Amino acid sequence: MELPELIEKAVEFTNAMKEELDARWYAASDIELSIRWLSTMDVEATASVEPSLEIVEQHVVSLSYGLLDYLYAEALEFARFSRAPNGEDHVHGTIAPPQHIGIFETADLMFMVGLMFVFYHEIGHLNQGHGSIRALYGDDPTNGLIDDFEEAKARRKVGDAAAISHATEFAADFEAQDWMMRHLSALSGDDAIHQAYLQCAMVSCIMLLFNGDQPAQLDSEPLGTHPYPVLRMDLWVQVFTEKLALLAQPLQITEDRAKLAKRFSDAGLMALMSWLTRYEKLDSSPHSDFCKGLLAHPNFSSYMRHVISTWSRHDEQARASRRYGTPMGVMYFTDEFRALVEAEPNRDSYLAHIKLASQALGSG
């Protein structure tokens, strides 16, 4: 697709998502949801409030034409890279995407998936009040601006400022995933599995984009503005698999959890291989950590402890800020995961967490 067609499709699709959110909450509230299109060909996606964090009259999602151009280029490259010879179900040693649809149709579907993820990711920042939380650590104190391509611009954060940025990015991913799962509800069987594969693949491509061309090393504590893409991709796939397994019966999915986990992990791996190949980084030593298993990585536990500790100071605020969505849209680290990385125990049980999230939604 050429840029004018991408813009037309994007405006139509984001308006449809906005209308749904208006019907759910914004139309009856004192806050207006606005989508602003930036004509720049730079890649931009931001969330902000206006006129200020103290007086919120608008939630603003800003997206650029350059973002659309990039999303489609990345989707098309993935569709070409993952094409299996003779329609086989494996390519490059991994499970291939659905081969019964052509390259350009695959790219079109992935473009829409990518746009959906970016939009709902920004909505997650707004719905959970991440701008107010990050302002406590030195971010924009006026409009709570969150720039999802800040890492690509090499504005490096350290300490608690980096940790809260990483934590709120994970949290926005978590909320976006909750919305995206709903878009699978109209599908069933193989159609649902195929769409789920493309979701995991395209979201993985975008997580690499959010990280810019920074090396992928996993440090012992958060640095910069965004989580390391492979860790982010891995956590996304794990949670996505668990949620889809719970929906297997209504979606008429017969694959067991282990097969789903392998399929979606391969989707992320395929996206990674496509990205590394496209940017000629497949043999680049600064990107060597892409190939290390997360649980075996010496910095994994330390890194996650920092994220969990910082998030635990503000999860109540994020949970209480939400006015739409489902109670399962708020990030929660289980007792088992916290024990694995030797993090502090949960304050609330999962059932108590869901109850409190439901109460917050009811109060809006």
Q: Cβ neighbours of residue 337 under 8 Å, at least 6 residues apart?
A: 343
Q: Report whether 173 contacts 116 (CB < 8 A).
A: no
Q: Could you tell me which residues are beta bridge partners of residue 95? A: 90
- The whole-number pLDDT of residue 156 equals 76
- The whole-number pLDDT of residue 155 equals 58
Indicate the pTM of the whole model.
Answer: 0.94
- The whole-number pLDDT of residue 237 equals 92
- The whole-number pLDDT of residue 152 equals 55
The Cα–Cα gap between 128 and 290 comes to 30
Q: Report whether 44 contacts 62 (CB < 8 A).
A: yes
- The whole-number pLDDT of residue 244 equals 92
- The whole-number pLDDT of residue 161 equals 94
- The whole-number pLDDT of residue 273 equals 86
Q: Report whether 231 contacts 293 (CB < 8 A).
A: no
Residue 11: other Cβ atoms inside 10 A: 14
Return the closest-CA partner of residue 225 out of 119, 128, 140: 140
H or E element that contains 237: helix 229-246
DSSP 324: S
pLDDT tens, position by position, 78-137 = 999 999 888 788 998 899 998 889 999 999 999 999 999 999 999 999 999 999 999 999
- The whole-number pLDDT of residue 214 equals 64
Residue 332 main-chain phi, psi, to 5 deg = -145, 125
For the chain, which ranges sit under pLDDT 70?
150-155, 212-216, 281-293, 363-364
> In the chain, how long is the greatest CA-to-CA distance?
59
Q: 85 in helix, strand or coil?
A: helix
Residues belonging to the chain: 364
